[in-house]
Amino acid sequence: MTWWKEAIVYQIYPRSFKDSNGDGIGDLPGIFSKLDYIQSIGVDVIWLCPIYQSPNHDNGYDISDYRQIMIDFGDMSDFDQLLEGIHERGMKLIMDIVPNHTSDEHRWFKASCESEDNPFRDYYIWRKGEMDKLPNNWPSFFSGDAWDYDEKTQSHYLHLFSKKQPDLNWENPKVRQEMYEIMHFWFKKGIDGFRMDVVSLISKLPGLPDSESNVFTEIISQYYANGPKVHKYLKEMHKEVFQHYDCMTVGEGPGITLDNALNYVGEDRNELNMVFHFGHMYIDNGPGGKYDPIPFDLVDMKKVFNAWDEKLAAKGWGSIFLGNHDFPRVVSRFGNDGLYWQESAKLIATLLLCMRGTPYIFQGDEIGMTNVAYQSIDEYRDIETLNSWKDAMLKGADSENFMKLVHQQSRDNARTPFQWNNSRNGGFSEKHPWLKSNDNFETINVEKQENDEHSILNYYRKMIEYRKQNPDLVDGNYQCYEVEHPELFLFKRWSDKNEYWVLLNFSENHHNVAMQFPQSISLEVNNYGEPNGINRLRPWEAKVLKV
């Protein structure tokens, strides 16, 4: 098996991980100081969210220099030290690169604005015209139109995200070469791969036609993603860059579906190793998107997992994740962050670490960090949340109601400072952190869980160790049972030699599993201390059985 299939990935959101110099912002020396902790979890690969120079309108996903370290995070010597520290501990590093857009403060974009015949003009997507006549009706991911006007040349430029994130023109071979050289630059420093931000969006539909849909997820899949040249570009990228290194590549793939996934990750394709799809992450979104939520349905989620596993089984590879820096906290979203906080956080760990594919753990989920609920919108920092709020208020939404949606859906839920101990700001920073700490740091923190054998943290360690000892959990067969059961997620993993059963109770109810297990079956992992009968499941109980 290749290393990136066996790997367990730990995702770091550097701004919120550990502040080393008391300015309230997490940084690279902070991460360096916690490498022993990360290693102790048992993970193999660290994915660092963007750390390049950036004006931080979207916390680093708006890059102004791809070869410099963001001033808030440190400098290149801090980076070199971090990379060395990661490698010394036998771990690997993948960087987050943003190929679809840059910051409007990038020198390419500044030059591009200068004049229509500037050599950098074609690095971006411009349309000449009158200010109030937009080139098309596309909406941006962050509310409002996907176009902004530049007076100087009387043209609009395309930005699928904020207006400070202009989209690059991948039709231009120079843009592609620039990106490949940037990747070589980081590979030559010794990194082990890339997570590629919204890489499914880099090829634009010819003629940029008006969208005929108002449903944003449809607009993404029909107009923004999987453009006609995306595979040409990825193959070229593979040939020019990836094939020269023993690396891991995972593309973030809004709009990637079961029908086209293998075009990205098929073994014969020479494009990417894995993608992140969002099938399971959007199931609680209503027609109006995330701020129009519908109840979460476990049956739908199982169907998404089953279909993707089946699709990728023969000649692809999946990435298994339940949350990241763009979504609410997993325990608050799919588990129960009240009475069954501990059990449900462990159940989620069990799911994550027993599926086929490469698991991704987002920082803080290993201690069961929860959603936050700030009282005022002024406490929020995320551009997507703030823009949605403004938009909703302009449209006359009820502020109290919308605040509830923000509490449930904001990306800042996942971005609150990491909770290290019960001192000020959870030990994240001496000073006022850039985003307020979650009040519950006194009860939920690493230090407390280090000292508790039965903590969520120690359960993650145990589960990770168990997966390593039982590699059939990595690539063995997968079959889900009782798919239509609304509260149980039951599946089998097996090879010629071994057979495992994973029983997960996603509810507060007691259940009996209607399955005949062989006498020889043994209980290997359990999120409750005291075992009960093999077939019985208590609220949020998770069991791994081996035949």
List residues with catalytic annotation: 197, 252
Amino acid at position 281, single letter: M
Shortest reach from residue 387's CB to ligand GLC, in Å: 11
* Residue 84 neighbours by CB under 8 Å, 6+ apart: none
Q: Which residues in the 82-111 window bind ligand GLC by CB under 6 A? A: 98
C-beta of 340 vs 434, nearer to ligand GLC: 434
For position 13 contacting ligand GLC by CB under 6 A, the verdict is no
- Whether residue 68 contacts residue 57, with contact meaning beta carbons closer than 8 Å, is answered with no
For position 161 contacting ligand GLC by CB under 6 A, the verdict is yes
- Whether residue 260 contacts residue 269, with contact meaning beta carbons closer than 8 Å, is answered with no
For position 4 contacting ligand GLC by CB under 6 A, the verdict is no
Kindly write out the interface string for residues 273-312 of this chain, putting x where it contacts ligand GLC by CB under 6 A and - elsewhere: ----------------------------------------
Pick from Ca ion, ligand GLC, none: which does 482 bind, CB < 5 to 8 A by kind? none
Spatial distance between the Cα atoms of 314 and 304, rounded to a whole number of angstroms: 17
C-beta of 325 vs 485, nearer to ligand GLC: 325
Shortest reach from residue 197's CB to ligand GLC, in Å: 5
- Whether residue 256 contacts residue 200, with contact meaning beta carbons closer than 8 Å, is answered with yes
C-beta of 56 vs 425, nearer to ligand GLC: 56
Q: Which residues in the 23-82 window bind ligand GLC by CB under 6 A? A: 58, 61
For position 428 contacting ligand GLC by CB under 6 A, the verdict is no
Q: Which residues in the 186-205 window bind ligand GLC by CB under 6 A? A: 197-198
Shortest reach from residue 315's CB to Ca ion, in Å: 44
Q: What angle do CA 231, 362, 424 make, to 5 degrees?
A: 145
* Residue 96 neighbours by CB under 8 Å, 6+ apart: 47, 48, 49, 50, 60, 194, 195, 196, 197
State whether the Cα torsion 92-264-494-456 is positive or negative. positive
Which residue reads 């495992």 in tokens? 500
Pick from ligand GLC, Ca ion, none: which does 23 bind, CB < 5 to 8 A by kind? Ca ion
Pick from ligand GLC, Ca ion, none: which does 309 bind, CB < 5 to 8 A by kind? none
Shortest reach from residue 103's CB to ligand GLC, in Å: 10
C-beta of 25 vs 48, nearer to Ca ion: 25
C-beta of 15 vs 121, nearer to ligand GLC: 15
Pick from Ca ion, ligand GLC, none: which does 138 bind, CB < 5 to 8 A by kind? none
Burial of 95 (0-12, 13-18, 19+ CB in 10 A): buried
Q: Are strands 522-526 and 536-537 parallel, antiparallel or unpaired?
A: unpaired
Q: In what order do the strands lie in the sheet with 45-48?
A: 274-276, 248-252, 193-196, 92-97, 45-48, 9-12, 358-362, 319-320
HEC-encoded secondary structure of 480-500: EECCCCCCEEEEEEECCCCEE
C-beta of 183 vs 250, nearer to ligand GLC: 250
Of the CA atoms within 13 Å of residue 525, those in its CB half-sphere come to 28
- Whether residue 170 contacts residue 232, with contact meaning beta carbons closer than 8 Å, is answered with no
The footprint of Ca ion (CB under 5 A) covers 19, 21, 23, 25, 27
Q: Which residues contact ligand GLC (rule: CB under 6 A)?
A: 58, 61, 98, 161, 197-198, 252, 325-326
